[in-house]
Structure 1
Amino acid sequence: MASMPELAAHARDVPVNQIREITEAAWHTPGAIVLSIGEPGFALPRHILEAGMACLDRDETNYTPNAGIPALREAFATRFRERAGLNTSLGAERVYVVDGAQQGLHFAMSLLLSPGDEILIPNPGYPTFAMTSRLLNAVPVGYPLYPEHDFQPRIQDIEALITDRTRVLILNSPSNPLGAVLGADLTRQLVDLARKRDLWIISDECYEAFTYDVPHVSPARFDSDVPGEARVFTSLTLSKTYGLTGLRIGALVCPPGLEQKMNNVMEAIVSCVASPSQYAALAALTGPQDYVRHAHEHYRANRDAASAVLEAKGIPYLSAQGAFYLWANVSHVSDGDVRSWARRFLADSGVALAPGTAFGSIGEGWVRIALCGTRNDLVEGVGRLPKNQD
């Protein structure tokens, strides 16, 4: 009997996502405290649920336009203008409703990358930046975020990596996994670098609603409004802001002049997003914002509580200015292999933490601690970390 044909090389070579690896192990560990995954834990507001159910009740279950229902596109555009501080006329025509931020990233990369092209991604950075680009036969190149520079990118480090095959620069602020936030001056310099070196920017702004004592700064604020000159794509999601992780709803904001191309590619990738999710998202964006305020207060208080435990144990960490993660240095116990240590720590202590190597080579010796669960579980879980005796 003939054997099954091989998968394409770019699919065979996609690595295991170490976040999922440790989290699924935790789900099979009775009583485990799961601090390895960023899953908001609050009940959804009733008005959001009812909007999705009402869509089903009236049997509004046919195709929507490729780019999404007009009212939702306008709501995304309004929020983005306000949150990003855009002094532009950015309208709904540049907003494409996508099936979660991950599909938005795939959408943007599909538009911008040809086989063999290089894309600059943060190291440490979210794993799917590399995974998605590899699936498109592109080459991810990590730009370093060093502990000694507070994990902030440096222009000279990025520029040194640019070749004649570099097409895209990915920025992620607030950062997953770091909780780091890019300031206005650095963001402007990064956009200027992309303009000087003729690069596209994909800005992942999943956590834009959650910054602490610093503003969120979108690269789009420094982009051109002129078709043919603009270069920033912005990826947004409601998964983190409103806890809609399972409804798979987000938006990709494109530079002006690309609207028809966006429609063509959207049709080939997903056609359109499920209508109940779109109406639930519309209710989230246009209705009461109590959920977001409550989540912001909860994550901030959890950050402070977990930070106090780390300090008491002498464990170094990056003070999170955004998102809902703490980035902690466990090199005093991980012995140069934090992925293996995280598995042992789960087995021995019943606590799941995401190993830093899930996010790149510079993550060796570090772990990401999710702050979105209950205070008691978080403090108990972090409290089981071994003290740093140095």
Structure 2
Amino acid sequence: MPALPSHIAEMPGSGVRRILEVALQRPGTIVLAVGEPDLAVAPPVRLAAAEAWTRGDARYTPNGGIRPLREAIVRKLSRENGLEVDVEQVWVTVGGTQALHQAMTLALSAGDEVLVPDPGYTTFRMNAAMIQATAVGYVLRAENGFAPDIAALEAQVGPRTRAIVINSPSNPLGVTYPASVIEELVLFARRHDLWLISDEVYERFTWGAPHVSPATFDVDGRVLSVFSTSKTYSMTGARVGWLVTPPGWRDVMLRVQEAAISCVDTPAQYAALAAIDGPQDAVVEAGAHYAANLRAAEEVLTARGFRYLPPTGAFYLWVDMSHVSEGDVEAWCRRFLDDQGVAVAPGSAFGAEGEGWIRICLASAREPLLEGLRRLPSPARP
């Protein structure tokens, strides 16, 4: 049989998924490895999807999504993000994942380089590999609060660098960048004439640090912004996100959307419309639930002497396990799953700088979360 192209055969996999696939085969496992909210989708959102199915509204929509949803997103971006955009800048996608892939497809050619955070979300590197571009990690270090070092970024720009990806609030770190850092990154992209791809999927969950959209600092149309209903509305399986482009891209976006997906599932689009345009009580309740989980988890970790990064956004805890991981945290995570029945995400899945750390998802029921943390081996006390 023919061989797969080398860029596909050699594409990196996800260390998170490797742990999760094993965990899902073992009933009773405490799963803290994946960013899956435990809360139910709000009833009005479920009803909107059901009504679409009931009336048989399951045919093709325009490539960019149904007009009412795109208009609702325009209002949302103005209300919550300080962005004034035209409806033709909003393109409904199959979750934030496709929006990220679409953004990279638009920004990069084969052989180009894209700067991605390290540690950073796994699919940043996977997407680059799929389009035969090269992901170059920019290091986020604990001693710098896991914030980007602009001077180091300057040194990483080469003749093939075409884009930078930023993610605030961050998965896996839970870091939310202040406006000053966001503006610096936009100015950096402008100095080097780079596209800036902004992953804002966790925008609604911040802890004491307001979310800032990079596009608020964009003066020349270089920012591509990625959003999703998945985390905000606990709609991970509905697969509805959106990509916000610079103005004037309608013709090219019609072509790339048609080639990639044609359109997003119609009932899911109506569910997203109900979520974005409807009452936001469920989002407020979700935020309170995650914040309470965070406080309880921090109490356990602090009392047991763990080093961890206090998050300012998203719903993850970044915990140092270097005292037991012996330089291979993924192997340790597999042993921990086998021995203790708890699945956590190895930090190395998010880049080389994640070695020795693990990511814990806080978006679960309280007691399983705390029990999983209690089973972590404590650092030796002095």
Q: TM-score range by the shorter chain?
A: over 0.9
SS at 2:293's partner residue?
helix
State the shift of 1:292 in Å.
Answer: 0.3
Q: Paired residue for 1:340?
A: 331
Q: Paired residue for 1:325?
A: 316
Residues 27-42 of structure 1: pairs in structure 2 closer than 5 A = 27-42=24-39
11-20 or 178-187, larger mean C-alpha shift: 11-20
SS at 1:247's partner residue?
coil
- If the length of structure 2 is used for normalisation, what is the TM-score? 0.98
The whole-number CA distance in structure 2 between the counterparts of 1:82 and 1:201 is 22
The whole-number CA distance in structure 1 between the counterparts of 2:167 and 2:293 is 22
RMSD after superposition: 0.8
SS at 1:82's partner residue?
helix
State the shift of 1:30 in Å.
Answer: 2.7
Amino acid at match of 1:320: P
Cα deviation, 1:37-68, whole Å, max 9, x if unaligned, reads 01011111111111111111111111100000
1:309 paired to 2:304: no
Cα deviation, 1:77-98, whole Å, max 9, x if unaligned, reads 2112222223xx3121210000
Q: Which of 107, 114, 128 is the aligned partner of 1:112? A: 107
SS at 2:106's partner residue?
helix
1:166 paired to 2:157: no
The whole-number CA distance in structure 1 between the counterparts of 2:299 and 2:152 is 33
Question: CA contact under 8 A between 1:122 and 1:143: conserved in structure 2?
Answer: yes
State the shift of 1:259 in Å.
Answer: 1.9
Q: Paired residue for 2:74?
A: 77
Amino acid at match of 1:139: T
Question: CA contact under 8 A between 1:124 and 1:144: conserved in structure 2?
Answer: yes
SS at 1:37's partner residue?
coil
Q: Paired residue for 2:130?
A: 135
The whole-number CA distance in structure 1 between the counterparts of 2:327 and 2:304 is 20
Question: CA contact under 8 A between 1:175 and 1:322: conserved in structure 2?
Answer: yes
The whole-number CA distance in structure 2 between the counterparts of 1:358 and 1:325 is 15
The whole-number CA distance in structure 2 between the counterparts of 1:99 and 1:352 is 27
Residues 279-318 of structure 1: pairs in structure 2 closer than 5 A = 279-318=270-309
The whole-number CA distance in structure 2 between the counterparts of 1:378 and 1:324 is 12
The whole-number CA distance in structure 2 between the counterparts of 1:66 and 1:313 is 52
Unaligned runs of 5+ in 1: none
State the shift of 1:287 in Å.
Answer: 1.1
When the two structures are aligned, how many residues end up with a matched partner?
Answer: 381
Structure 1 stretches of 4+ with a deviation exceeding 3 A read: none
Q: Paired residue for 1:45?
A: 42
Unaligned runs of 5+ in 2: none
Provide the identity percentage. Answer: 50
The whole-number CA distance in structure 1 between the counterparts of 2:354 and 2:126 is 17
Q: Paired residue for 2:152?
A: 157
Question: CA contact under 8 A between 2:329 and 2:356: conserved in structure 1?
Answer: yes
Question: CA contact under 8 A between 1:313 and 1:386: conserved in structure 2?
Answer: no
Question: CA contact under 8 A between 2:330 and 2:346: conserved in structure 1?
Answer: yes
State the shift of 1:230 in Å.
Answer: 1.0
State the shift of 1:360 in Å.
Answer: 0.2
Amino acid at match of 2:106: L
Amino acid at match of 1:104: A
The whole-number CA distance in structure 1 between the counterparts of 2:358 and 2:161 is 30
1:62 paired to 2:53: no
Residues 311-390 of structure 1: pairs in structure 2 closer than 5 A = 311-390=302-381
Q: Paired residue for 1:209?
A: 204
Question: CA contact under 8 A between 1:207 and 1:240: conserved in structure 2?
Answer: yes
Amino acid at match of 2:184: Q
Q: Paired residue for 1:254?
A: 245
337-346 or 36-45, larger mean C-alpha shift: 36-45
1:19 paired to 2:44: no
The whole-number CA distance in structure 2 between the counterparts of 1:174 and 1:109 is 20
1:199 paired to 2:194: yes
The whole-number CA distance in structure 2 between the counterparts of 1:79 and 1:317 is 34
Amino acid at match of 2:201: C
- If the length of structure 1 is used for normalisation, what is the TM-score? 0.96
The whole-number CA distance in structure 1 between the counterparts of 2:367 and 2:248 is 50
The whole-number CA distance in structure 2 between the counterparts of 1:294 and 1:23 is 27
